[in-house]
Amino acid sequence: MNILTFNLRVDLPQDGENAWRFRSQKAAEVIKSHKPAVFGTQEGKRHMLKDLERDLGDYGWLGGDRRGGNEDEFCALFYQRERVEAVDHGQFWLSETPEVPGSISWESDYPRICTWAVFQLNENRDKKFIVYNTHLDHISQKARENGIHLIGEKIKEHQEKTNLPIILMGDLNSELENEVVRFLRGQIPLNGSTIKLKDAFEKLEEAPGRTFHGFQGGLDGAPIDYIFTTLDIVVKDTKIDRSRAEEGYPSDHYPVIAAVEIMHD
């Protein structure tokens, strides 16, 4: 099944012809073309997520906003109802007080969150997996490192409790050699602990190129949007969708798509 992560670019009137109302259907079309069983979005406000829900049809979604209300940005998880059911879900803040809505630590510019859900395949109800979706801070490296360390600890806790395969996706605001990415790949410890996940970009035969493009397109640079999995998931294929509609791009980020096989049963 396909899994997809997509930073939608928050709806800002000053974006002019790139404001959300001109892009919402393009965003829905590019998502629909990959038929993801589950996908995560970053920077979506509630009205943007409702637009996608309307235009996509058979998808539900879950998650709360980063300030603990309904008006700010979400790290939403969408799921195709025909194929999967959400049987549990939650959210925590990337801070020293992860259960406190809107909490900020480590010089983060904004509250940052991680939304997670346990999904069950409809065709095989014994087969379950967990998806995490996050958006790390764009300013503070300290916040990125502490945030991803917290996510790593939560993933390990979930693994110990459930023994389920886990997928982590999101906008990590970190290029390939950043400590955040190296930590997730098991190359370095952070805060005295380690984790070893599979980077979906390892399936590419060439360098991935950039995923943030500022509505300009192009390949030059390095990714900041990623999909990682635990080792019990087989990544069959990975793509960065750089397609452009005639009137422009659906976002200032490209969506990243991984075809995965869940081995657990």
Beta-sheet strands, E only, within 172-232: 198-199, 225-229
Task: Return the pLDDT at 265.
Answer: 53
- Tell me the per-residue pLDDT of 81-120, one tens digit each, with 9 for 90 and over: 999 999 999 999 999 999 999 999 999 999 999 999 999 9
8 Å CB contact between 229 and 197: yes
**Distance between CA atoms of 187 and 189, rounded to whole angstroms?**
7
Q: Residue 264's pLDDT band (boundaries 50, 70, 90)?
A: low
**Distance between CA atoms of 140 and 153, rounded to whole angstroms?**
20
- Relative to beta strand 77-80, strand 256-262 is unpaired
- Range(s) of the domain holding residue 132: 2-262
- Tell me the per-residue pLDDT of 20-67, one tens digit each, with 9 for 90 and over: 999 999 999 999 999 999 999 999 999 999 999 999 999 999 999 999
- Tell me the per-residue pLDDT of 175-191, one tens digit each, with 9 for 90 and over: 999 999 999 999 999 99
Number of domains in the chain: 1
Nearest to 34 by CA among 233, 246, 239: 239
* Average pLDDT of the chain to the nearest whole number: 96
Q: Residue 247's pLDDT band (boundaries 50, 70, 90)?
A: confident
Does the pTM of the predicted model rise above 0.85? yes
Task: Return the pLDDT at 42.
Answer: 98
CATH of the domain at 35: 3.60.10.10
